[in-house]
Amino acid sequence: MDNLKKIGKVMFFPHILVVFALFILAMGFLLFSMIYFGTEHIVSYVSYVISFYALVVLCVRIPQIIKLFKKIKNENKYVLKYRQDPNLRIKLSLYGTFLINITYSIFQLCLGIYHKSFWFYSMAIYYALFSIVRFYLLNFAKKNKLGVDILGEYKRYNFCGWVMLLMNIAVTIIIFFIIYFGKTFYHHEITTIALAAYTFLSFGLSIFSFIKYRKYNSPMYSAAKSLNLVSGCVSMMTLTTTMLTTFGSDEIFEFKKILLTIVGIVVSLFILAISIQIIVATNKKIKNRV
C-alpha cells in the first residue's frame, strides 16, 4: 500500500517545475503530431494520452501554482522592482516589442524577396515603421525618467501620431492587396488556432494596459500603449483574413470579400482617427508649454 501511495504521489504530485516542463512538452508534442501525422495516426493517439495526463497533473497542482505565483509577486525583488518602477516597465516593454518588430520586419522582407510578393513587402514596411518609432521612444526613455521632460515626451508622442499616419498607408495597401487581388495565405488549422489565441491575448492585453496605465498621465506611456493598440487592431484584421481563408469555403467568396472590406475600412479609419487625435492634442500641449 505504501508503495502505491509513493507511485501515486510521484505520478500526480511531481515538483512544480516538472509540471510546467511536462505540460509544455506535451502541448508541443500534440501540435507536432497533429501537424505532421494528422489526427488519426498512432503517434497522435500517444500525444493525446500524454497531453491528457499533463493536463490532469496541472489541474491537481493549481492551488500550489497559485501560491507560487503569489509568493513570486510579493517577495521576488526583481518582480517588486518591476511593479514599482514605471520607467523600468516602459523600457522593458519597448525593448521587447522593438526586437520583435525588427525581427519580423526582416523576416517579411526576406519572404517578399523570395516570393516577389507585394503583400510581404507591405508587411515589412509596416513592421519597419513600428521598429523606428519604438527605437525613437526607447532612446528617449534610456536617457530620461518619465514625468521629468514632459515637453520632450509630448514631442515624441506627436511623432508617433505622424508615424501612425504612414502606417495607415501600409495598412491600406495590405487591405487593397487582400480585397482587389483576393490574395490571402492558407495556414494549417492548428497554426491558425494558435495565431488566433495569440492575437486575442495580445489584443486584450493592449486594451487592458491602455486603460490601466492612463493613471500615470505620461505621454511616453500613452505613446507606447497607443502603438500596442494599433498593432493589435492590425493583427485582428490579418487574423480575420487567415481564418476566413483556412476555415471558409470558395462558395462564400463574395461574403468573405465584403466582410474583409468592412473590417479593413474599420481598422484603417480607427488608425486614422487615433493618429489625428494624437497629432492635434499633442500640438496643443506643445504650444502651451513652449
What percentage of the chain reaches a pLDDT higher than 70?
80
User: What is the predicted pLDDT for the residue at 99?
Assistant: 84
* pLDDT tens figures, 215-265: 666 777 778 788 878 878 887 777 777 777 666 655 556 777 777 788 888
> What confidence tens digit (pLDDT) does each residue in 105-148 have?
888 788 778 777 776 787 788 788 888 888 888 888 777 777 77
Report which of 258, 222, 228, 214 is spatially closest to residue 240, judged by C-alpha positions. 258
Kindly state the cell numbers that stand for 144: 530620461
Alpha carbon distances (Å) from 145 to 81, 87, 99? 15, 6, 22
Q: CA 53 to CA 57: how far, in whole Å?
A: 6
> Is residue 187 over pLDDT 60?
no
Residue 251 is predicted with a pLDDT of 58
Q: Please give the residue that has the higher pLDDT: either 137 or 211.
A: 137
The DSSP 8-state label assigned to residue 146 in this structure reads: T
201, three cell numbers: 491575448
Tell me if 21 sits within 8 A of 58, measured CB to CB: no
User: Alpha-carbon distance 27 to 140, whole Å?
Assistant: 40
Element (H, E) at 188: none
The answer to whether residues 168 and 268 touch, using CB atoms and an 8 Å cutoff, is yes
Q: pLDDT-derived band of residue 3, with 50, 70 and 90 as boundaries?
A: low
Taking the complete model, does pTM exceed 0.85, yes or no?
no
Angle at 150 between CA 149 and CA 153, to 5 degrees: 90
